[in-house]
A = this chain, B = another copy of it.
Amino acid sequence: MTSDSTSLPRTYSISELARMFEVTPRTIRFYEQEGLLEPQRRGQMRIYLDKDRVRLKLTLRGKRLGFSLAEIREVIELYDALPDGNARQLQRLLELLAEKRANLQRQEEDIRLMRKELDDVEGRCREALEALPENSED
């Protein structure tokens, strides 16, 4: 058994988390500085919980989708104040969510169009390869 009693919560060190997501510790500290993470401390070491791991995952996903850290932070902040936020905050959060949805939709359209382009280019490319004379393997 690795743990008995009330199953102490799983924690992560900064480099552990860094390896999990293939980023550097620097990146993780930077995200904290930008208000995206709020790890515990033991002495002066940072202790990350699953909550932080999830946040980091969401942050990185947001980044891959082209959102800025500031955008992501705003969502996270509003989300954190969730069950007890005031009406204005909640309304703002709904606005943000709608914005993000619109973004995603435009991206999907862009992906569709980009795929068509890629198909086209690949087609021409293969034609060009066919037309190459020096194709006597050996």
Which residues of A, 79-138, contact B by the 8 Å Cβ criterion?
Answer: 79, 82-85, 87, 90, 93-94, 97, 100-101, 104, 106-108, 110-111, 113-115, 117-118, 121-122, 124-129, 131-132, 134
B65 with A110: CB separation less than 8 A: yes
Residue A64 at the chain B interface, CB threshold 8 Å:
yes
In whole angstroms, how far apart are the Cα atoms of A84 and B34 in the complex?
A: 50
Q: Hey, which chain B residues are within 8 Å of A23, CB to CB? A: none
Q: Hey, which chain B residues are within 8 Å of A83, CB to CB? A: 124, 127-128, 131
Whether A61 touches B118, Cβ cut-off 8 Å, given contacts A83-B128, A87-B129, A125-B97, is no
Residue A58 at the chain B interface, CB threshold 8 Å:
yes
Q: Hey, which chain B residues are within 8 Å of A85, CB to CB? A: 128
Q: Hey, which chain B residues are within 8 Å of A87, CB to CB? A: 129, 132, 134
Contact of A100 among B97, B118, B126, B127 (CB under 8 A): B118
Residues of A in contact with B (beta carbons under 8 Å apart): 58, 61-62, 64-66, 75, 79, 82-85, 87, 90, 93-94, 97, 100-101, 104, 106-108, 110-111, 113-115, 117-118, 121-122, 124-129, 131-132, 134
